Structure 1
Amino acid sequence: MKTKHIAMWACPRTRSTAITRAFEQIDDCIIYDEPLHHFCFFNMANDYENEIKDFPSDYLVKYPNTNYSSIIEKLTGDLPEGKSFSFQKHLSYHLIPGFDKSWISKVKNFFLIRDPRETVTSYWKVKKAGGFNWEESKSFLGWEEQYNLFKQIQDITKEKPLVIDSGDLLKNPRNYLKNLCEKLGIDFSEKMIRWEQKKTSIISWENSIYEQFSKNVINSSGFFDKPQEINIPDLLVPSIKKFMPFYEEMYKDRMIV
């Protein structure tokens, strides 16, 4: 039986949107982009008060559903006509404690990782460009939640989830995606390698304070293949040191092509 629902779990700045854009090119795939985002923020409003007050005015229109059961029903239920599977991009910290996670056994899960030196630095850059305060922002980096969920899904499904490192993918996107699709139980498409700039259903936060988060990948036409030099400011070093052990543990289980 062909895979019906795929859930990719990630941290911010792991290239999750680029991978989602690749799957978006498959004709019979429906994309659910961070479907737990709105639910998470509005159930943790006290913790994220400063973040929420700065959301764009049309935020409620883009994420109208905050009912957990309703969202999960969509993520595990029937598909729209013409679609054979869903690809769900999740940030692990959106799956907040205290809510049932048994539905995870109904989807095919995999985890996306990227070197914290890159994710933390990239996150700091876009937050800075958006005018955010770093001390308030760094709690959204999500590495601890990512690792904890990796272990929880292993307990729920009784098998170790698939892990991919976006750095590996960039070395040979076509070959890597072919292998990933095989592992996920779906057919690879050449369309996944290149796409049209700006033509996407993925929310881009255009003309808002969040525009920096997806600006580059929305304007892209494929995976970036040029390594970028990383200059790490001193204020990021404590976060990188804290998150590196989580990355290194998951890196041991990554898919090797």
Structure 2
Amino acid sequence: MTLKIAMWSGPRNISTAMMRSWENRNDTQVVDEPFYAYYLAQTKADHPMAKDVLASQSSSWQEVSEQLSQEQYQGKIFYQKHMTHHMLDDIDLTWTKKLRHCFLIRDPLFVINSYVKKMPTVSTEDIGIKRQLELYQQITDITGQDIPIIDSKDVLINPRGILSKLCESLAIEFDEDMLSWPKGKRNSDGVWAKHWYENVEASNSFAPYQEPLIKLTTQQKQLAQENDNYYQQLYKKRIIVTGEKIKLDR
């Protein structure tokens, strides 16, 4: 039986590098943002390559969720990279009961600082951190799982430590192949890769952590502050490495 793992992230995180990490395991198949077309069809959001995205995927959340939760996939693990802001309120989340879940979080100040380099405007809905907290609470209630949370800064500082603890919390063996991967494009990447994935295509591992240089307007900084409470509620539950045991800071 295939273990289906859903990783829930907001945009401008290390979510694509994390997908590379999992895909480099020889027992894992990945899927890239399967609800993106649904999100665009519903919101009419002005995103780069929107027409290409809509043509590449089903825009029916019912069809997508059925595929993600029911079909059999190659490999022991089916890793799903999800964007929290793609999950609009009209989606029935009961399909998530058939998956194992984990959450990838990042400081909203850093998210917004990166987001505005690619997009002209930004809102709470765009960065998905409030929605991430809502999904964490809703999926926890639906599944009854003790869902692990990892912070991108922790991953970059100690990728082996955090990923090994994440794997342990998901009851699978850590694989050293998760720490590096070949440079280049992947057939599994969404069609939007040419706009968003330049940096990860040039990478072969998680980049060493560097504190970002923040260049934001007063309004953008205020938006980060407004979202910080949602982030902190998740941050305090994150996996931290303490010796040889998993510690969830709760």
TM-score range with shorter-chain normalisation?
A: 0.7 to 0.9
Counterpart for residue 231 of structure 1:
214
C-alpha separation between the residues in 2 aligned to 1:16 and 1:226? 15
- Aligned with 1:191 (options 177, 180, 183): 177
Deviation for aligned residue 1:33: 0.8
Question: Residue 3 of structure 1 contacts residue 185 of structure 1 at CA under 8 Å; is this kept in 2?
Answer: no
Relative to the length of structure 1, the TM-score reads: 0.85
Question: Residue 72 of structure 1 contacts residue 103 of structure 1 at CA under 8 Å; is this kept in 2?
Answer: yes
**Aligned-CA RMSD value:** 2.0
Matching of residue 122 in structure 1 with residue 121 in structure 2: no
Counterpart for residue 164 of structure 1:
150
C-alpha separation between the residues in 1 aligned to 2:53 and 2:137? 32
Counterpart for residue 222 of structure 1:
205
C-alpha separation between the residues in 2 aligned to 1:159 and 1:226? 30
* Identity %, equivalent residues: 32
Secondary structure of the residue aligned to 2:210 is coil
Counterpart for residue 28 of structure 1:
27
C-alpha separation between the residues in 2 aligned to 1:159 and 1:58? 36
Deviation for aligned residue 1:138: 6.0
216 and 204 in structure 1: CA distance in 2 versus 1, 3 angstrom threshold = farther
188 and 198 in structure 1: CA distance in 2 versus 1, 3 angstrom threshold = same
C-alpha separation between the residues in 2 aligned to 1:56 and 1:92? 18
- Aligned with 2:80 (options 73, 83, 88): 88
Aligned pairs for 1:2-13 (under 5 A) are 4-13=3-12
Secondary structure of the residue aligned to 2:240 is coil
Aligned pairs for 1:97-108 (under 5 A) are 97-108=89-100
Deviation for aligned residue 1:191: 1.3
Question: Residue 204 of structure 1 contacts residue 215 of structure 1 at CA under 8 Å; is this kept in 2?
Answer: no
165 and 134 in structure 1: CA distance in 2 versus 1, 3 angstrom threshold = same
Matching of residue 142 in structure 1 with residue 135 in structure 2: no
189 and 202 in structure 1: CA distance in 2 versus 1, 3 angstrom threshold = same
196 and 183 in structure 1: CA distance in 2 versus 1, 3 angstrom threshold = same
Amino acid at match of 2:62: S
Secondary structure of the residue aligned to 1:125 is coil
Instruction: Please list every run of 5 or more consecutive structure 1 residues that lacks an aligned counterpart in the other structure.
Output: 128-132
Instruction: Please list every run of 5 or more consecutive structure 2 residues that lacks an aligned counterpart in the other structure.
Output: 242-250
Deviation for aligned residue 1:3: 6.4
Question: Residue 10 of structure 1 contacts residue 111 of structure 1 at CA under 8 Å; is this kept in 2?
Answer: yes
Relative to the length of structure 2, the TM-score reads: 0.88
Amino acid at match of 2:105: I
191 and 147 in structure 1: CA distance in 2 versus 1, 3 angstrom threshold = same
Secondary structure of the residue aligned to 1:88 is strand
Question: Residue 3 of structure 1 contacts residue 184 of structure 1 at CA under 8 Å; is this kept in 2?
Answer: no
Deviation for aligned residue 1:57: 5.1
Secondary structure of the residue aligned to 1:89 is strand
